């Protein structure tokens, strides 16, 4: 892009939420392109070829200061055909943006043989370069799914942001984003990254959020920034975070601030990809209850839990979303029911017996690694999974980010009973850059005592029989090659995020055969990364 075009379109371009005949296009204008606070016209065109000779859709929209000069165009037009590739670009203030590319969805009645989706999460700008995104932009996939932590509301939190590679300072040197201007600043700063821009230019994306688009370990309109819940009550901050998210990411969702912070934006939704995939996207932040055992570090992490954790009324989805979710999954007639799930659903314990060699003085304890995930809501988890079991749902796959680790395993209604049948397969994608366990150990993790990585991942696999692979030493993404006979999940990692160039490695490859709720190791992968369950040795497809 010329420097003039970069000044007009500093965020690059992006697309999202494809339909069989539609797409959402997005960009933002730079200060040089705007004049006062009045409407600035922005043209757009969508062509069938990268040279823009066969233009299918052309139009004009406008943006203004009230939406921070972001541009969102929702296109649904019969001139766009299903499951086809298109190119788009914007014009404004005499400049033309770089082109972007997207693929429409197959018709809902179509029977596609194959769809490829990459999923990613957790891109803390300060912790590294987006080398993984540079590689992902070159992958041969149809769509991308972002599971959240697109931004981080803090830029130097000592508990997980001490390994600074790229400094970012909030306006006024604030410790954490509080206002709409702060959140907008963060999206603009992140969106300037050239590798993130390449990713968005290459593929349409579905977005959901996790906690850091608002506040760490947030729930409803509460952050967890202090140990006093009254001080953590932050409805205006929640609304500001939701507004900036809506302005800066290309979705079809409507933002209605008059409804208040809990109802302004409904993020949970389902997408049908031909008869092959029902992609069910949930919101595990807005309707959830708070931490069950208190707000202290050891009330939330590496904790044996407390009786309140088991309270049957506790919810992470909220009753309305829960009912919608169970109905959507159990009634779906699509081959694969794929759940875009923000926080880890599979139980994740650390048994002190598994680290006995390191900490011989510890009594026998089963510690939950993190109660901010579904382990803080075990009754609702069992309720949902039992409903899926009763309905006889097959080919159920759960995709998760948040934990900054790669992993694979099985969903069970009762995780403490290894004989409880596998109801589906869980695939966990590592972070793009956010601190993994190794980095937290290297750069400090708020003084929390945890075993070294070489001991930690084997201990986690030993402590969780349903977990077949775990690795918290790498960064990257997962590519799903979804067919009518099975899914190949390829976990890919970069060899560094601390330099602008990196090599891409295939960490692991799993085959999930249709009709079996089974994970099969295929390919060799990089054995020195992570820990595999010995039961799951590589075998031919
Ligand atoms: Fe994260």
CA atoms of 511 and 322, how far apart (whole Å): 29
Helix (H, G, I), strand (E, B) or coil at 375: helix
What's the CA-to-centroid distance between 123 and ligand 1, angstroms?
7
**DSSP E strand stretches across 274-329:** 277-281, 301-303
Measure 149 CA to ligand 1 centroid, in angstroms.
5
- Parts of the chain with a pLDDT under 50: 447, 538-541
Cα–ligand 1 centroid distance for 254 (angstroms): 25
User: What's the 477 CA to ligand 1 centre distance in angstroms?
Assistant: 13
485 Cα: distance to centroid of ligand 1 (angstroms): 32
User: Residue 78 C-alpha to ligand 1 middle, in angstroms?
Assistant: 39
**Residue 257 in tokens:** 């601030």
Asked if residue 126 belongs to a domain, the reply is yes
Q: Is residue 403 part of a domain?
A: yes
404 CA to centre of ligand 1 in angstroms: 6
Looking at the domain assignment, is residue 23 inside a domain? no
Residue 538 resides in a domain: no
Give the structural domain span for 367: 106-532
CA of 27 to the centre of ligand 1 (A): 25
What's the gap in Å between 503 CA and the centre of ligand 1? 23
- Ligand 1 centroid from CA 296, angstroms: 19
Q: Separation of 377 CA from ligand 1 center, angstroms?
A: 19
CA of residue 147 to ligand 1 center, whole Å: 9
Quote the pLDDT of residue 192.
Answer: 97
**Domains in the chain: how many in total?**
1
pLDDT of residue 540: 32
* Residue 61, φ and ψ in degrees, nearest 5: -135, -170
Q: Decide if 479 contacts 489 (C-beta within 8 A).
A: yes
Residue 66 Cα to ligand 1 midpoint, Å, equals 29
pLDDT score of 541:
31
The rounded Å distance from CA 202 to ligand 1 centre is 23
Q: How remote is the CA of residue 145 from the centroid of ligand 1, in Å?
A: 15
Tokens of 270: 């389902």
d(CA 328, CA 492): 30
| Residues 349-355: contacts with CB under 8 Å, at least 24 apart | 349/375, 349/463, 349/464, 350/302, 350/459, 350/460, 350/463, 351/459, 351/462, 351/463, 354/458, 354/459, 354/460, 354/462, 354/463, 355/451, 355/455, 355/456, 355/459
Q: Ligand 1 mean position to 510 CA, how many Å?
A: 24
- In the structure, how many helices (H) and strands (E) does the chain have? 11, 26
Q: How far is the CA of 402 from the centre of ligand 1 (A)?
A: 4
> Cα(110) to centroid of ligand 1, in Å?
36
Tell how far the Cα of 434 is from the centroid of ligand 1, in angstroms: 6
Taking the centre of ligand 1 as the mean of its atom positions, its distance from the CA of residue 506, in whole angstroms, is 22
Cα of 122 from ligand 1 centre, angstroms: 4
Span from the CA of 403 to the centroid of ligand 1 (angstroms): 6
Q: Ligand 1 centroid vs 16 CA: distance in angstroms?
A: 21
* Per-residue confidence (pLDDT) for residue 1, from 0 to 100: 60
Distance 163 CA to ligand 1 centre (A): 15
Q: How far is the CA of 130 from the centre of ligand 1 (A)?
A: 14
CA distance 138 to 105: 20
Ligand 1 centroid – CA 401 distance (Å): 7
CA of 73 to the centre of ligand 1 (A): 29
CA 35 / ligand 1 centre spacing (Å): 37
Q: How far is the CA of 538 from the centre of ligand 1 (A)?
A: 30
- Say how many Å lie between the CA of residue 394 and the centre of ligand 1: 30
Region of residue 362 (phi > 0: left; psi between -120 and 50: alpha; otherwise: beta): beta
Query: Cα of 480 to ligand 1 centre, how many Å?
Result: 21
The rounded Å distance from CA 212 to ligand 1 centre is: 7
CATH number (domain holding residue 119): 3.60.21.70
Q: Are strands 422-428 and 396-400 parallel, antiparallel or unpaired?
A: parallel
Domain-located, residue 420: yes
Answer for the pair 168, 190: CB distance below 8 angstroms, yes or no.
Answer: no
Residues with CB under 5 A from ligand 1 (ion): 122, 149, 434
Distance 4 CA to ligand 1 centre (A): 35
Measured in Å, residue 343 CA sits from the centre of ligand 1 at 9
Ligand 1 centre from 121 Cα, in Å? 7
pLDDT, residue 216, reads: 97
| Residue 75 located in a structural domain | no
Could you tell me the distance, in angstroms and rounded to a whole number, from the CA of residue 375 to the centre of ligand 1? 17
> pLDDT at position 354, please?
86
pLDDT (tens digit per residue) in 407-466: 999 999 999 998 899 999 999 999 999 999 888 877 655 545 556 667 788 889 999 999
| 54 assigned to some structural domain | no
The answer as to whether 540 is a domain residue is no
């Amino acid at each position: 892009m010329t420097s003039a075009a970069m000044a007009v379109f500093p965020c690059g371009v992006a697309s999202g939420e494809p339909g069989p005949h539609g797409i959402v296009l997005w960009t933002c204008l730079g200060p040089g392109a705007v004049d006062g606070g009045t409407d600035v016209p922005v043209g757009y065109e969508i062509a069938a070829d990268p040279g823009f000779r066969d233009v299918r859709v052309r139009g004009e929209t406008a943006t203004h200061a009230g939406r921070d000069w972001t541009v969102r165009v929702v296109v649904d037009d019969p001139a766009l055909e299903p499951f086809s590739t298109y190119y788009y670009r914007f014009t404004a203030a005499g400049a033309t943006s770089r082109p972007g590319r997207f693929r429409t969805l197959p018709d809902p009645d179509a029977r596609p043989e194959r769809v490829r989706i990459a999923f990613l999460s957790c891109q803390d700008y300060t912790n590294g370069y987006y080398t993984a995104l540079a590689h992902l932009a070159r992958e041969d996939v149809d769509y991308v799914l972002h599971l959240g932590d697109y931004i981080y509301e803090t830029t130097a939190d000592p508990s997980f942001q001490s390994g600074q590679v790229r400094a970012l300072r909030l306006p006024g040197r604030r410790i954490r984003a509080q206002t709409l201007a702060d959140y907008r600043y963060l999206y603009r700063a992140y969106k300037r990254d050239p590798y993130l821009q390449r990713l968005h230019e290459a593929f349409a994306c579905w977005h959901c959020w996790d906690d850091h688009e608002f506040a760490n370990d947030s729930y409803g309109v509460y952050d967890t920034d202090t140990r006093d819940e009254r001080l953590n009550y932050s409805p205006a901050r929640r609304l500001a975070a939701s507004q900036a998210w809506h302005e800066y990411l290309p979705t079809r969702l409507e933002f209605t601030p008059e409804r208040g912070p809990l109802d302004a934006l409904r993020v949970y939704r389902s997408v049908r990809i031909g008869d092959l995939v029902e992609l069910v996207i949930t919101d595990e932040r807005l309707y959830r209850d708070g931490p069950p055992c208190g707000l202290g570090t050891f009330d939330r992490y590496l904790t044996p839990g407390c009786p309140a954790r088991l309270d049957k009324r506790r919810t992470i989805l909220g009753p309305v979303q829960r009912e919608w979710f169970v109905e959507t999954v159990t009634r779906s007639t699509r081959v694969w029911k794929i759940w875009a799930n923000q926080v880890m659903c599979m139980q994740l314990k650390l048994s002190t017996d598994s680290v006995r060699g390191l900490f011989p003085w510890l009594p026998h304890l089963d510690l939950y690694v993190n109660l901010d995930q579904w382990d803080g809501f075990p009754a609702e988890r069992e309720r949902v999974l039992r409903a899926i079991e009763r309905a006889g749902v097959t080919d159920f796959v759960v995709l998760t980010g948040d934990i900054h680790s790669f992993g694979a395993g099985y969903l069970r209604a009762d995780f403490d009973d290894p004989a409880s049948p596998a109801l589906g397969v869980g695939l966990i994608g590592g972070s793009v850059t956010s601190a993994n366990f190794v980095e937290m150990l290297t750069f400090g993790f708020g003084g929390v005592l945890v075993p070294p990585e070489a001991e930690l991942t084997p201990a986690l696999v030993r402590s969780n029989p349903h977990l077949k692979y775990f690795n918290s030493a790498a960064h990257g993404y997962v590519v799903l090659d979804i067919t009518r006979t099975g899914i190949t999940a390829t976990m890919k990692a970069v060899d560094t995020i601390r330099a602008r160039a990196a090599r891409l490695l295939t960490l692991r490859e799993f085959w999930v055969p249709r009709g079996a709720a089974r994970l099969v190791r295929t390919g060799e992968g990089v054995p020195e990364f992570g820990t595999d369950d010995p039961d799951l040795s590589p075998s031919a497809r």
